[in-house]
């Protein structure tokens, strides 16, 4: 039997456990996976691009379990009442090759993306970080706020989006948090005085939302939205000013802010494993060029499998009396009347 976690099941689980706790536990699980970097069989995701978006497969495996995520990215979907990103995940036992978990991953991806940003902030952002700027208040903004708040003593959130309705949505969702919420009229106003900046927008284009004039010593930047070829959020002149951290360099060279460039980068596992410092000095500007990597999905699916045990088991693999005789399984029963479909 295969454990099935659908949207309502995950909603109930997160509600009972608490979003902040889930984000913290996912960050720890992802950190543990990065600490085992050499144990994984890794590759860039396989992307198929279309006029309206992209569909991707993201596989990764260790000696015990194989994980793969199906995920799309269609920026125009919200205009039609659909999600920009929708995802499904599968976790399999390597020894038998049998799947053990099929899960919704739209919500889980939102959680693990923010958890990864917060984890990098744990290692790279200044300890005295208290002001977060959000550029883009779409689906990721609340998760970024809560996840980073697990790692640093946030007091003020400055936020901006080109869509006023998105800003109203964010303010409403965060209204009960013990935070000073400052809606801003521009990106420049939002990043003014910020210790940490999270940029997460959906426009599939080369943008220059953050420029060198907006940088300040000691700032940490999470660049979350540049996740496919031809899609960036930072002015190219920002990159030489930063110490750049990436998840998996071969993939980020294709899809991230550094796509098509030769800027020197540090893979995050080197920081987790103590081979490189997360921050060279208090005045360094650190940039996490986040594109999302399958290792994080592997960690998230394994965490979910271990913790969410009250789920539906479904029969997706034939249980044949003779594995060589699948034909017999499709024959009418030998008793009674065969069912019609």
- Name the residue ranges covered by the structural domains of the chain: 2-107+295-317, 120-292
From the list 189, 266, 203, 190, the residue with the least C-alpha distance to 232 is: 203
Read off the tokens for 82. Answer: 């659909």
| Cβ pair 173, 142 in contact under 8 A | yes
Distance CA 11, CA 107 (A): 9
Distance CA 271, CA 234 (A): 23
Distance CA 253, CA 111 (A): 24
Read off the tokens for 313. Answer: 């088991």
Buried b (16+ CB within 10 A) or exposed e, 317-333: eeeeeeeeeeeeeeeee
Give the model's pLDDT for residue 63: 98
Quick one: CA torsion of 9, 15, 20, 21, rounded to 10 degrees? -70
CATH number assigned to the domain covering 2-107+295-317: 3.30.1780.10
Task: Report how far Cα 234 is from the mean position of its chain's Cα atoms.
Answer: 19
Distance CA 247, CA 254 (A): 12
CATH number assigned to the domain covering 120-292: 3.40.50.720
Count of C-beta atoms within a 10 Å radius of residue 283: 11
Name residues whose C-beta falls within 8 Å of residue 195's C-beta, 6 or more positions apart in sequence: 125, 126, 128, 129, 130, 131, 132, 152, 218, 219, 220
CB-side neighbour CA atoms (13 Å) of 139: 20
In the structure, how many helices (H) and strands (E) does the chain have? Answer: 10, 17
Find where tokens 């494993």 sit.
Answer: 273
pTM metric for this prediction: 0.93
Given the residues 161, 227, 243, 289, the one annotated as active site: 227
Could you say which DSSP state residue 231 is in? B
Query: Would you write out the chain's pLDDT as a tens digit for each of its 341 residues?
Result: 999 999 999 999 999 999 999 999 999 999 999 999 999 999 999 999 898 888 999 999 999 999 999 999 888 898 899 988 899 999 999 999 999 999 999 999 999 999 999 999 999 999 999 999 999 999 999 999 999 999 999 999 999 999 999 999 999 999 999 999 999 999 999 999 999 999 998 666 667 789 999 999 999 999 997 666 777 889 999 999 999 999 999 999 988 888 988 899 999 999 999 999 999 999 999 999 999 999 999 999 999 999 999 889 999 998 878 888 998 888 887 655 555 55
Distance CA 151, CA 181 (A): 18
Is position 227 annotated as part of the catalytic site?
A: yes
């Amino acid at each position: 039997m295969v454990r099935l976690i659908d949207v309502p099941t995950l909603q109930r689980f997160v509600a009972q456990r608490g979003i902040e706790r889930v984000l913290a536990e996912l960050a720890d699980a992802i950190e543990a996976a990065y600490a085992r970097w050499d144990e994984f069989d890794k590759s860039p995701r396989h992307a198929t691009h279309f006029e309206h978006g992209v569909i991707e497969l993201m596989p990764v495996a260790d000696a015990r379990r194989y994980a793969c995520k199906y995920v799309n990215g269609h920026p125009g979907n919200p205009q039609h009442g659909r999600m920009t990103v929708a995802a499904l995940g599968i976790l399999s036992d390597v020894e038998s090759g049998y799947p053990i978990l099929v899960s919704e991953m739209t919500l889980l991806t939102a959680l693990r993306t923010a958890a990864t940003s917060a984890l990098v902030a744990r290692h790279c952002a200044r300890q005295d970080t208290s002001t977060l700027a959000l550029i883009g208040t779409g689906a990721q903004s609340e998760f970024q706020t809560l996840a980073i708040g697990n790692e640093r003593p946030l007091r003020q959130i400055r936020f901006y989006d080109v869509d006023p309705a998105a800003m109203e949505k964010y303010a409403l969702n965060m209204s009960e948090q013990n935070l000073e919420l400052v809606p801003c009229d521009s990106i420049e106003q939002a990043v003014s005085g910020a210790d940490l900046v999270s940029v997460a927008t959906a426009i599939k284009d080369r943008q220059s939302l953050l420029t060198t004039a907006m940088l300040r010593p000691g700032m940490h930047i999470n660049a979350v939205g540049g996740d496919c070829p031809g899609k960036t959020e930072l002015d190219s002149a920002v990159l030489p000013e930063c110490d750049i951290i990436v998840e998996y360099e071969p993939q980020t060279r294709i899809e991230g802010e550094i796509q098509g460039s030769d800027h020197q980068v540090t893979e995050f596992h080197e920081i987790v494993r103590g081979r490189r410092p997360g921050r060279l000095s208090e005045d360094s500007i650190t940039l996490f060029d986040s594109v999302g990597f399958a290792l994080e999905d592997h960690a998230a699916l394994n965490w979910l499998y271990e913790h969410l045990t009250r789920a539906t088991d479904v029969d997706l693999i034939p249980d044949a009396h003779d594995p060589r005789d699948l034909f017999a399984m499709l024959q009418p029963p030998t008793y009674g009347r065969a069912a019609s479909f």
